[in-house]
Amino acid sequence: MEQKEKKEEGRGKRWKRILLLFLFLLIIELIAYWQHILVSLGSYLIYEEPPRKGDLIVVLGGWDDRVVRAREAADLYHKGLAPKIFVTRPERPLGWKMLAEKGAQPFEAREGMIRALKSFGVDPKAIETVEKEVSCTEDEAKVVRDWVKDKGYRVILLVTSRYHSRRAWIIFRDALEGKARVVSLPSRYDDFRPEGWWKRRKDLKRVVFEYEKLLYYLLEKTF
């Protein structure tokens, strides 16, 4: 009887070891698969097309990314892919009137973008802009749509950050449908990488916000 109990106990331990080994291998597999999913999520946000000639380079505004976006737009301009660069005018910061009342000139993101383009050798005469302020990518697309319609441009080269390129392209494609072809050429100088984005706080915020905004745009468009 005692020998039988020992055999059953030994058999139970073997099954426990097998189960633990199985669970360990399953966890390893899930981690590898989960990382693959995360990389795919980061990669999806990047939409890049082959470079081609266009009528206008549109560089989207942004406080943090304006230099890397300006550098890419300047490169396309110097390669002769388009003769003009359009710069949007992001809305002025909250409280800018308080500065104006003190006689100070509030610094605008647009001025920073134009200054960067000039620093990269873009002829000031090649830079186009409008005075209407924008607060989001949808606003930028509407401003560009009106500008394109007025100027008769047919091919737009869209420059933004890599993580922003998919959503920006979708929004501009919808806004300019039937008016102009939109070619997505995100900045090669952007530091966003799909691999390991979840380990970097800055990229984690970028990905979460982009999917949140993309989902909101698609739902708003659908309903």
3-class DSSP state for residue 16?
Answer: helix
pLDDT band at 104 (very low <50, low <70, confident <90, very high): low
Q: How far apart are CA 172 and CA 177, in angstroms?
A: 8
Instruction: Give residue-wise pLDDT tens across range 35-79.
Output: 888 899 999 999 999 999 999 999 998 778 999 999 999 999 999
pLDDT of residue 101: 67
pLDDT of residue 15: 67
Q: Which residue has the higher pLDDT, 174 or 91?
A: 174
Q: What does the radius of gyration of the chain's CA atoms come to, in whole angstroms?
A: 26
121: left (phi over 0), alpha (psi -120 to 50) or beta: left
pLDDT of residue 91: 82
For the cut 60, the answer to whether the pLDDT of residue 1 exceeds it is no
Q: Which of 138, 188, 136, 182 is nearest to 157 (CA)?
A: 182
Q: Which of 210, 172, 149, 163 is nearest to 191 (CA)?
A: 163
Q: Which of 205, 206, 197 is nearest to 164 (CA)?
A: 206
CATH of region 56-222: 3.40.50.620
% of the chain beyond a pLDDT of 70 = 80
pLDDT of residue 27: 60
